[in-house]
Structure 1
Amino acid sequence: MDIDLSALHFLRPLFLLLIPLGVLLPLWRRHQIRQRRLQGSIAAHLLKHLLITPTTRQRLQPVHLLSALLILGALAAAGPTWEQDRPPFLENQAVLLLALDLSPSMDASDVAPSRLEAAKHKMHDLIARQHGLRIGLLAYAGSAHLVLPPSDDLALLDSFLQALATPLIERPGKDALGVIEQARRLLAAEQVPGTVVLMTDGADASQFAALEKSLEGTPLQVLILAVGSSDGGVLRNADGQPRTDSDGRAQVGRFDQAGLQQLAKALDAPLGSLTLDDDDLDWIELHAQRHFQAASADARQIHWKDAGYWLTWPLAVLALLCIRRGWNLNWAGAVLLAVGCLLNPAPARAGALADAFMTADQQGRWAFDHHHYGKASTLFEDPYWQGLAAYRAADYDRALGSFARLDSPQAYFYQGNIHTRQFHFDQAIAAYEHALKLQPQFPEATANLALARALQKDYDDAAEKAPQTEPDQVKFDKPKDKGDSRQIETQQASSDELWLQNLTTSPATFLKQKFSLQDAEHQAPPAGARP
């Protein structure tokens, strides 16, 4: 267990006032015993001058254990803490938006293997490190588009991230202003502060004036992560071959360092650069956390984990030592019990005596928080948490059975996710629609519903275009009185494999069609306007 000493403090510091009492108790006890022994023989005004403090060590006395109990009990009651208690799942409102530049210059190879691939790899690492943040994905070039709204489904985020490529957006340019507008709309719907990270190699100078006013009145923070080197790099195609112009010369992707600096100045945004280690990821997380805590009223009410329960074990040992024959501190165990009742600490972990001290849901929550999702799914009695743990453990049958017992938008949302993963698109669409019926403002369900409908269409198109399979049994005709009839069995492919083999639309194609439709809607003249 790592302890951050810089964050170490006490939740109830007034209990620390008992520590001096525990330190002074043995000294006072020793003084009182000597005085009682000699008070009957020596006058009180002479006794203090005749007492000599012995220097020899004495054996352990009950008062010493009482002093240790007071000191440790005071520390435990004071509530030492150094770690924040993060909000429960689906209750953390922090939002991080990742905006990836898909302009052709991102195919430059000055950052191996290319600027785009390096940025996607960095985003993948950031998504994998996600701690309570809901992450959204945007893409932009000459226009800005929402790929996925803020979500904690890491697998879904990563699948769409890997599908992003420069050909998906045909309009040239670097529309950072469009990204800001998209981010503002998302945060307005979420009603929470958030951070958008622009991963790009340049900027559009014509937008600087508008960008200076784009963040007014919004809880949005912008971070800029520069991708590329000052030397630039050769643009390469998907097959790795250099792109050439009409004269046969290799095209070079320019790295606009001056433009990025002006972009950062216009947005008053921190400017960082892609690194080989995780320093850039730490930089992003630090700025996002600070912004959320500063901008969110809820974030100011930070909850800390009370670590005082760790001291209950040494307190229990001291209490057992106090219960000895001939000692007059047998009541120390009652004192310890009273201190424990005041603390009411959360159990540290599930063990052999877990059933005596923890409910099944508490044991399941401990296992869930420590990423033991399979074990947690067997411990939880609450159907939502049981289903969530099974979903995290990829035990989709158990998860589906648990969520089916609930009538909540989150339960139907996860049922839709499970049906989508199992290629049951009709049931997935019905589940997402039911979730949106219960909670109309549910961006994740809206996005996944659109995806399930697109995959259903691909499935149907693939089934129509699939070649007709031969029957399972094939008999060959034979000339009369010649040869023997033979039967050949052909193995029929499963429906999932057949669909995978005939699926023609990838996530990249789906995104390209989506971006094209959005561009067409954006460029279309308003109703009633003259052509």
Structure 2
Amino acid sequence: MDLSAFHFLRPWCLLGVALAIALWVAGRAQRGAAGRDSGIAPELLPYLTLHTAGSRGPRPLDLAALLLALGSVAAAGPAWQRDEPDFLDNVAPLVVAVDLSRTMEATDVPPSRLEAAKRTVRDLAARRAGAKTGLIVYAGGSHLVLPPTDDQDLLDLFVQALSTDLIDRDGRDVAGAIDLASQVLAAERAGGTLLLMTDGAPAPDPVRERAQAARNLQILIMAVGGGEAQGGMDVPALRELARAADAPLGSLTATPDDLDWITLHAQQHFESVQDAAAGPPRWKDAGYWLCWPLALLALLALRRGWRVTWQACLVAGVFAFAAPQEVRAGRLADAFLTPDQQGRLAFERGDFSAAAGHFHDPYWKGRAAYAAGDYAAALAAFSRLASPEAYFYIGNTQVRQHRYDAALAAYDRALALKPGWQPAVVNRGIVTRLLAAMSQEQQGDQSEPPDRTVADKTAQAGQLAQVRVQQAASEDIWLRNLSLSPARFLRGKFAVQDAGERP
């Protein structure tokens, strides 16, 4: 409990405490005056007074005053913790820009600087499960590989394909990477962070201009390398780059400290932007905790004779707290929460399997099953709906099950109901390009003649793709091609973009 932040949300309600004290003092004074006005000598009065049941212990006036005072404190709203939604935890959007210059092949950081950076990106995505992470690469030009996504498998697929030969142009286009990050993070409408993983730096002036123009964008720089001795790592240039971009500068150590440093900066920046957009901070009202003593006092006030039976209260308390926790929680949940509400609580805790078992709503049941990896259950739940969101997740589920033709059909249905919907457009484009790259890989790499030719109309209209009849062999070739195709796809895409930028 942070006592320095303790305050009352509605302090005027504390006037009830003063009123309770005044009523209690007045009642006690009136009771004393009644005894004095009886005409009996004060020293004899205790011996002549008959004590009936209920005449000892707390009086109705005492309990009423205590109820009023405690209720006033509860109504005043004691608070000491910020009221921040649970979904703000670990959801700061992040874009990682990886330098693909030739110097990233240096081996002073084993096995190489680039491989160490790729491993850090994968570990970072795993640490930030549920948050969106995007990927940019740059050398002489900068290119968007993947917009921010919470799909770790898809991100890992493209991270594995990164190599220094994907971009032909030499240089370090940090300014272009900042522009790209600003564009993709603008769609998130939240405080985003750009992480530059590099071993060198360009001239600082263009970077300074782009960094100042980027609104709500935080830049972090992670130096990858062991020093100036190998690979031409320029530490002074990196420091100058950090000053120009007004960015913290860290050094890759290949330990969990790297991930802590990145996630802490990203989350703090995200929360500061959210706080600025939301206005004055909101606080958690802790007054409801006083409802339990208020209920106990009200229960005592209803007892005959106003006598407090402490033994009975003690026995009741022992039985209440000795009951098995899981049984008591289940009964309370069933009594006060609907199955969908219980499912939502389990979903927010990250217990997706339990959430899928609770949910009755098909959409959320499918979401929970999808997050739990039960793609058959997710597909069955989403198939009961005909909304764009349902078709979108049907497409994602089909991708997970390697049914890319069905995924494209589902994305098409989603876009037919919601034209131009960006998530469906992006995912459909990724699947389409992967299928095209896989088809080209098969046509170029297969040394044996195919047993038959099948027209794959879903990937590219009118293009023929060669597939093997034997299912096991075909899936093995397909999986190997899937790991190779992203690199070929990225290399061709970057070459076309760089050619288009040249005058």
TM-score, normalisation: structure 1: 0.71
What is the CA deviation profile of residues 289-348 of structure 1, one whole-angstrom value per residue up to 9, with x for unaligned ones?
44445546644366555554444444434433333221299xxxxxxxxxxxxxxxxxxx
> What is the SS of the residue equivalent to 1:427?
helix
Q: Is the 8 A contact 1:168 1:508 kept in 2?
A: no
* Number of equivalenced pairs: 451
CA distance in 1, matches of 2:3, 2:406: 51
CA distance in 2, matches of 1:118, 1:357: 51
Are the structure 2 counterparts of residues 461 and 272 from structure 1 closer, same or farther at C-alpha, using a change threshold of 3 Å?
Answer: closer
CA distance in 1, matches of 2:14, 2:471: 68
CA distance in 2, matches of 1:265, 1:157: 30
Which residue does 2:105 correspond to in 1? Answer: 107
Q: Which residue among 290, 300, 308 is the counterpart of 1:321?
A: 300
Q: Is the 8 A contact 2:57 2:307 kept in 1?
A: no
Are the structure 2 counterparts of residues 147 and 20 from structure 1 closer, same or farther at C-alpha, using a change threshold of 3 Å?
Answer: farther
Which residue does 1:261 correspond to in 2? Answer: 239
What does 1:30-429 align with in structure 2 at a 5 Å threshold? Answer: 30-41=28-39, 59=57, 66=64, 69-70=67-68, 72-77=70-75, 78=77, 80=79, 82-86=81-85, 95-130=93-128, 133-205=131-203, 208-228=204-224, 231-232=227-228, 252-275=230-253, 278-295=256-273, 298-300=277-279, 306-327=285-306, 351-429=330-408
What is the CA deviation profile of residues 337-361 of structure 1, one whole-angstrom value per residue up to 9, with x for unaligned ones?
xxxxxxxxxxxx9631323322332
Q: Is the 8 A contact 1:199 1:226 kept in 2?
A: yes
CA distance in 1, matches of 2:447, 2:62: 85
Q: Is the 8 A contact 2:3 2:80 kept in 1?
A: no
Are the structure 2 counterparts of residues 81 and 173 from structure 1 closer, same or farther at C-alpha, using a change threshold of 3 Å?
Answer: same
Q: Is the 8 A contact 2:141 2:176 kept in 1?
A: yes
Q: Give aligned-pair identity as a percent.
A: 44
What is the CA deviation profile of residues 87-124 of structure 1, one whole-angstrom value per residue up to 9, with x for unaligned ones?
769xx995321212232333334334443343334333
Are the structure 2 counterparts of residues 462 and 132 from structure 1 closer, same or farther at C-alpha, using a change threshold of 3 Å?
Answer: closer
Q: Is the 8 A contact 1:86 1:303 kept in 2?
A: no
Q: CA deviation at 1:364?
A: 1.5
Q: CA deviation at 1:141?
A: 2.3
Counterpart AA for 1:199: M
Are the structure 2 counterparts of residues 502 and 162 from structure 1 closer, same or farther at C-alpha, using a change threshold of 3 Å?
Answer: closer
Q: Is the 8 A contact 1:221 1:269 kept in 2?
A: no
CA distance in 1, matches of 2:343, 2:143: 40
What is the CA deviation profile of residues 47-69 of structure 1, one whole-angstrom value per residue up to 9, with x for unaligned ones?
xxxxxxxxxxx955555655654
Counterpart AA for 1:499: E
Q: Is the 8 A contact 2:166 2:491 kept in 1?
A: yes
CA distance in 2, matches of 1:281, 1:427: 37
Q: CA deviation at 1:426?
A: 0.8
> What is the SS of the residue equivalent to 1:215?
helix
CA distance in 1, matches of 2:257, 2:19: 47
Are the structure 2 counterparts of residues 300 and 310 from structure 1 closer, same or farther at C-alpha, using a change threshold of 3 Å?
Answer: same
CA distance in 2, matches of 1:279, 1:219: 28
CA distance in 1, matches of 2:70, 2:484: 61
CA distance in 1, matches of 2:30, 2:449: 102
RMSD between superposed Cα atoms in Å: 4.1
Q: Is the 8 A contact 1:151 1:444 kept in 2?
A: no
CA distance in 2, matches of 1:124, 1:98: 11
Are the structure 2 counterparts of residues 321 and 163 from structure 1 closer, same or farther at C-alpha, using a change threshold of 3 Å?
Answer: farther
What is the CA deviation profile of residues 180-224 of structure 1, one whole-angstrom value per residue up to 9, with x for unaligned ones?
12112223444554221112221122xx22222213443142423
Counterpart AA for 1:105: T
Counterpart AA for 1:255: M
Q: Which residue among 468, 476, 480 is the counterpart of 1:500?
A: 476
Q: CA deviation at 1:459?
A: 6.0
Q: CA deviation at 1:419?
A: 0.2
CA distance in 2, matches of 1:5, 1:106: 50
Q: Is the 8 A contact 1:99 1:137 kept in 2?
A: yes
Q: Which moved more, 1:458-467 or 1:173-182?
A: 458-467
Q: Which runs of 5+ in 1 are unaligned?
A: 44-57, 234-251, 330-348, 471-491
CA distance in 2, matches of 1:275, 1:71: 58
CA distance in 2, matches of 1:113, 1:23: 75
Q: Is the 8 A contact 1:9 1:82 kept in 2?
A: no
Q: Which runs of 5+ in 2 are unaligned?
A: 42-55, 309-327, 452-467
Q: Is the 8 A contact 1:196 1:220 kept in 2?
A: no
> What is the SS of the residue equivalent to 1:219?
coil
What is the CA deviation profile of residues 254-299 of structure 1, one whole-angstrom value per residue up to 9, with x for unaligned ones?
3211111111222222323335655544443444344445546644
Matched, 1:447 2:447: no
Q: CA deviation at 1:451?
A: 2.7
CA distance in 2, matches of 1:165, 1:22: 75
Structure 1 or 2: more helix by fraction: 2
Q: Is the 8 A contact 2:221 2:247 kept in 1?
A: no
CA distance in 2, matches of 1:11, 1:500: 64
> What is the SS of the residue equivalent to 2:109?
coil
Q: Is the 8 A contact 1:462 1:502 kept in 2?
A: no
CA distance in 1, matches of 2:277, 2:130: 15
Q: Is the 8 A contact 2:199 2:224 kept in 1?
A: yes
Q: Is the 8 A contact 1:198 1:222 kept in 2?
A: no
Q: Is the 8 A contact 2:140 2:173 kept in 1?
A: yes
What does 1:430-441 align with in structure 2 at a 5 Å threshold? Answer: 430-441=409-420
Q: CA deviation at 1:160?
A: 2.9
Counterpart AA for 2:411: Y
